Amino acid sequence: MKLLKDLNKRIQQIASVRLWLLLTLIMFGLGYAMTSSISPSAELMSLAGGRNVPDTQFWRSADSLYSQLTDYGAHGRRLYLTRVSPVDLFIPLAQALFLSVAITLISRQVFQRDSAWQLLNTLPFAAMVGDYLENASIVSIILAYPNRLDALALAAAFFTAIKFIASLASIGLIILGAIVWLINKGKK
């Protein structure tokens, strides 16, 4: 609990609209890097019969992941390691900060400063941890390929699910907080 309180305190100290706007620009830039023509995502999708990169699949079996890696071939696996993975080093942290700062800014309007509800701004960091564990797992699996690490493949799928659930819950908190804030503002 101390870790959450310390993280909350640090986010409370740095959170500002200006920082949130900067993080928004960073998120757009990283999103562009992952989806534009400079990204290998379209090529990887075509190699894998239309399946998106593993990080974007909410759940997958070990067999499904290995089938996709086989479809990628050596070229696709190298693309994943050299062009997708480096960008994905920054996305989890940037997204966690982006969502956490947004939750903090909204929570300041809805809850008392010393309320335990303020700790909700730490939820995006659960997504970040899940994302980094997912990334490390997938990179390890690719490096070991064609040797199978089925337990790690299942763990990677679990980490992906954690990432998605915590991210979606964070977005839900922002939306819910904004609604409550607008309702409270309308009552005044």
Would you kindly state where each structural domain of the chain is located, as residue ranges?
14-187
pTM of the full structure: 0.91
Q: How far is 54 from 11, CA to CA, in rounded Å? A: 30
CA-based nearest residue to 141, from 88, 90, 70, 35? 70
Name the residue among 31, 8, 43 with its Cα closest to residue 117: 8
State pLDDT tens for residues 44-64: 888 888 888 888 888 899 999
pLDDT at 6: 95
Q: Which amino acid is at 166?
A: A
| More confident: 165 or 53 | 165
148 by DSSP, 3-state: which? coil
Q: Which two tokens stand for residue 180?
A: 């409550």
Instruction: At 28, list the tokens.
Output: 């757009």
